[in-house]
Amino acid sequence: MKKYSILSIFAAAAVGFGATSCDDYLDVNNNIDAPAYVDAYLYMPQVQNTFFNVYADGFYTQGLTQMTSHGGNFASHYYSKASDTGGGMWRMTYWSHGMNLENIINQSIDEKDYHMAGVGLILKALSWDYSTKYNGEMPLDDAFVPGLLKHDYDYQEYIYMKIRQWVKEGIAYLEMEDNSPLRPQLDDYDQVYGGDLEKWKKFGYAIIVRNLVSLTKKNDFKEKYYPELMDAASKSFTSIDDDAAIHVDGGGADAPGGASAYSNYYGVYRGNLTGTPHQYAVDIMTGMVLAVDEENNEYIEITDTNRLKEVGLFKYELEEKQIITDTLVHEVGHWDPRVVAKLETTYGSHVANFAEIDSIKAFKYHGGRYASAAYFNSGSDYFGATTARHGSGRWLYTNESPYILTTYAELMFNVAEAEWTVGNKSAAYAAWKTAVAADMEFTAKYLQPGSVNVINEKDRDGKYKDITFHVGDKITKAQFNAAAAEYLAGPFVGALPESEFSLSHIMMQKYVHLYPWGSQEAWVDMRKYHYDLVYTGEYPSFNNGWDKQNMYNKYNSDPTKVYKGFFLPYSQLTTSKVNEDNDGAPCYRVRPRYNSEYMWNLPGLKALKPISGTAVDYHCSIPWFAYPGEQPGAPTYDEVAE
């Protein structure tokens, strides 16, 4: 299969554009740089590669989900509407994809190039599924109508229905006989599956499952959505070989078109993934979720000197019951090897014996939480983005790492949650075990061989000297797989009694799997469970989950708390206050792109309910998928259909 970067579309198109009649070269009424017609397959690399916007906007959902320290004000659940920050997916859906995808679909249908049309429809469904979960209501029916100066918004229930409809139409086209002379071009220009139609159909069904699992808190989930979800799951991925990922060439400054076109957004060369993991992600992946003094609303600090020496840098007591792992790393089955792949450590990177697994298990991981609380006596952590210290990168953070769209592991976590929701605990337990095992395979797949790099730099005394660093992944696939087998058979997965199995096991293991590439879906989950806020009734509201002073999270002792150890930045455990525009509420959506909607489509925004799109707290408006019933003030799908 040939590979094409995001810029290949322009180079390929230029060749096609140059093949015009010599008689027409003086026709000033035709723009040769924007011709009226481009073969549908030439759009495909651009459309697929611009899904990098999911990673770009992931910086903000990583902050909102406490995966990393990225996100700025987004991580604090507030941001100004007068900015395009966080608007990548809106731009992707309406512009980068927009008419390019419409042309792929419509031209291919007209030319009976049905397989290309099917792929286009599935990509369209994926694009809109990402964006509506992120932004909420969107103009759909008015989106690409020529001549419109005002675009009315469609409500999310209707958009959800259209997404599944596009997938089903796409699969139907993939199953049709395709005799188009352009059919071989799909194999060459498809950066996901190289034209493998069976995998595209499975991917389509995975999108349906992902779409429907966001509705598990709906009152009618069991009757209305569960049967369709399980039917789609039965036709979807069967192993990690079916995972959907976009090929990335990688490369540096010498790559044609520059590194931005060829290197992964999280790669070392592009330097975007800097900063620290969030302390919450570190806590759950190292078994260091903190114990809380619930009466005094504070973490329990260790004051005994001998106890402090025993626990090392950490200075707070830990919860007795951890969900992912614990600190007994040298006991068989207790250490989760995913931590060394997914998180970075500066501890021992130039002194450790990487041939010994016990040396690797001894690594320490540090993250950042909020400025108002110091959780470690010392130490810092970073992903890093320098070639000298990191070579071409590691795991999913290399220049040539693919963009992950969805996986077999995610599918099985979704099945597990759906089964749990309808009361099929044993089926959920079995699907969950399959999902965790699949994540181990997924993680191992992208491990990069480590190497040694010597750099000359200043030490702490300001003197230059040669320092040896281990670059790339700090664990081999063989070491990882051996540790993974022990973990899967150990107390946190294989030996966990079904009687102790809980929703937290499903959702927190899914969170680890999605770290950090799938933060968009992790944010869907956290909003669906309303950030584990304490509230009565069907959903939280002012003075029922939050007030002007605090957001009130459930404590870990509450059996209904899904994300153990998770507390919002303005919870009862901090002294900080959320921006006054929030009226105390957490963020539930990202505003539409400023230069699109707030500059040109204010009437459409203003009409939205229950909170107007022009209101200062619109980003706190709860989306339809997170309401157990109907969204207040919004028309139902049946009303729209009439």
Nearest one of 28, 92, 22 to 56, comparing CA atoms: 92
Q: Which residues pair with 68 in a beta bridge?
A: 277
Q: How far is CA 361 from CA 341, 344, 445, 637, in A?
A: 12, 13, 20, 53
> What average pLDDT does the chain have?
86
Q: Is the pLDDT of residue 116 over 60?
A: yes
192-239 residue pLDDT tens: 999 999 999 999 999 999 999 999 999 999 999 999 999 999 999 999
Averaged pLDDT, 363-391: 51
Residue 35: the pLDDT is 64
Residue 4: the pLDDT is 41
Nearest one of 305, 302, 343 to 325, comparing CA atoms: 343
Residue 250: the pLDDT is 81
**37: its two tokens:** 């017609």
Assessment of whether the complete model's pTM goes beyond 0.85: yes
How many C-beta atoms lie closer than 10 Å to residue 310's C-beta? 10
Question: Pairing relation of β-strands 541-542 and 545-546?
Answer: parallel
Angle, alpha carbons 155-160-163 (nearest 5°):
125
**389: its two tokens:** 């210290």
| Beta carbons of 469 and 455 less than 8 angstroms apart | yes
Q: Is the pLDDT of residue 252 over 80?
A: no
Model confidence at 24, in pLDDT bands (50, 70, 90)? very low
562-605 residue pLDDT tens: 999 999 998 988 877 889 999 999 999 999 999 999 999 999 99
Element holding 200 (H helix, E strand) = helix 197-213
Please give the Cα distance from 93 to 162 (Å, whole number). Answer: 14
**603: its two tokens:** 């009437």
Most confident range, picked from 120-134, 259-273, 378-392: 120-134
524-548 residue pLDDT tens: 999 999 999 999 999 999 999 999 8
Residue, of 547 and 370, whose pLDDT is higher:
547
CA dihedral (34, 36, 38, 40) positive or negative? positive
Residue, of 71 and 51, whose pLDDT is higher:
51
Please give the Cα distance from 367 to 134 (Å, whole number). Answer: 26
Averaged pLDDT, 267-272: 81
Distance of CA 637 to the CA centre of its chain: 28
Please give the Cα distance from 328 to 204 (Å, whole number). Answer: 42
**86: its two tokens:** 């966080």
Residue, of 10 and 36, whose pLDDT is higher:
36
Residue 254: the pLDDT is 63
| Residue 548 one-letter amino acid | K
Q: Is the pLDDT of residue 101 over 80?
A: yes
* Burial class (CB within 10 angstroms; exposed 0-12, middle 13-18, buried 19+) of 30: exposed
Q: Is the pLDDT of residue 609 over 90?
A: yes
Percent of the chain's residues with pLDDT above 70? 85
Distance of CA 495 to the CA centre of its chain: 29
The count of C-alpha atoms lying within 13 angstroms of the C-alpha of 216, restricted to the half-sphere facing its C-beta, is 26
